[in-house]
Amino acid sequence: MKNIAIICDCDNTLMPDLPSLLLKDNEIEPQDFWDDIDLLVRDGWDPPIAWMTKLIKLIQDEKIKQNTNEKLAEFSASVDVYPGSDTFINEINSKLGTDSDVSVEGFVVSSGIESMMKGSKIANSFTDIFGGRLYEKDGIIAGIKSSITFTEKTKFIFAINKGITSKIREKPYDVNNFISESERRIPFENMIYLGDGPSDIPCFSMIEKLGGTSIAIDSKDEWSKNWEYEMRYRKMDSFKPDYSEDGELRRKLNSVISKIQT
């Protein structure tokens, strides 16, 4: 059996930005929030740590009513995802058929909040979802348990490659264990990475250099000029976030999968 991994960012790749929607739901202006985060980043904060810390402060100040991981998941369950993003993995496998020697698995590796992504409509379509995690104390979200920074994403790519995703949380150092190329579960050349912004560039670069395919998702969610420059510089294909069967993105995915099959 030849295993193929489609690895996706989440916010603005599979669905609109969940933290921004959460802020809007609590009558907080997202742009003001993100402007404050920019100031923290300029002061040396790591971006995911900065925005999750500020989000937790809003929760503790009772300005965000979703104050547990369960409530965050309940909120994200109500969010509409991009067309077909919650079904395309299953549809691709269905098209390949049970007699095919190819199996496609979906993974989400994101700097977003894991409990929200796992509560969303995409959850049942993906083999695993990795994101930043929040811990609770006395029944309320109290702090950051783990975060996924730009380069931290590559750790999870290696875990997918080595077939140790089920252990990566409890045994993070196992990602450094030597596994010969022939024994790795999903070769890099069998990987397709989809992302929408600067935090995805380390994964884009790594997967491309190791023989896989990277695809930029153009959600038009206020892309920065720096991001647009990166896409031109890298000569990457970019697609609207429409995963439906007759869309251009789906045709691109089918084309890449066909090449991997041969």
Indicate which CATH number applies to the domain containing 123: 3.40.50.1000
Instruction: Give the sheet arrangement for strand 2-8, strand by strand.
Output: 140-146, 128-137, 102-113, 2-8, 191-195, 213-217, 238-239
Q: What is the average per-residue pLDDT within 242-257?
A: 95
Higher pLDDT among residues 53 and 235, named by residue:
53
Higher pLDDT, 233 or 14: 14
Residue 34 has pLDDT above 60, yes or no: yes
With respect to residue 129, please indicate whether it lies within any of the assigned structural domains: yes
- pTM value is 0.93
What pLDDT does 224 receive? 46
Tokens of 32: 């003001």
Considering only CA atoms, which of 41, 61, 42 is closest in space to residue 51? 41
Q: How much is the average pLDDT of 194-210?
A: 89
Q: Which of 181, 235, 187 shows the shortest CA–CA distance to 207? A: 187
Nearest residue to 114 (alpha-carbon basis) of 55, 72, 150: 72
CB 239 within 8 A of CB 217: yes
Per-residue pLDDT of 91-123, as tens digits, reads 999 988 766 788 999 999 999 999 999 999 999
The DSSP letter of residue 15 is B
Q: Is residue 116 part of a domain?
A: yes
For residue 132 the two structure tokens come to 């930043």
Question: At residue 81, does pLDDT exceed 90?
Answer: yes
Residue 71 within a domain: no
**Residues 221, 16 contacting (CB under 8 angstroms):** yes
Residue 201 lies inside a defined structural domain of this protein? yes
Looking at the domain assignment, is residue 44 inside a domain?
Answer: no
Query: Would you state the pLDDT for residue 155?
Result: 95
The mean pLDDT of 199-219, rounded to a whole number, is: 90
Per-residue pLDDT reduced to its tens digit, 116-172: 999 999 999 999 999 999 999 999 999 999 999 988 999 999 999 999 998 899 999
In 3D space, the residue among 156, 160, 149, 150 whose CA is nearest the CA of residue 188 turns out to be: 160
Per-residue pLDDT band at 232 (split at 50, 70, 90): low
Type of residue found at 14: L
Show the domain range for 233: 2-15+79-133+145-261
Cα separation, 133 vs 146, in Å, equals: 5
Query: What does the alpha-carbon distance between residue 122 and residue 199 come to, in Å, rounded to a whole number?
Result: 21
233 band by pLDDT with thresholds 50, 70 and 90: low
Query: What is the overall mean pLDDT for the chain?
Result: 91
d(CA 195, CA 216): 5
* Total of domains in the chain: 1
Per the DSSP assignment, residues forming a β-bridge with 143 are: 135
52-80 residue pLDDT tens:
999 999 999 999 999 999 999 999 999 99
Q: Report the C-alpha gap between 204 and 200 in whole angstroms.
A: 6
50: in domain:
no
Residue 214 within any structural domain of the chain? yes
Distance CA 193, CA 157 (A): 10
Task: Say if 48 falls within a structural domain.
Answer: no
pLDDT of amino acid 223: 42
How distant is the alpha carbon of residue 27 from its chain centre?
A: 26
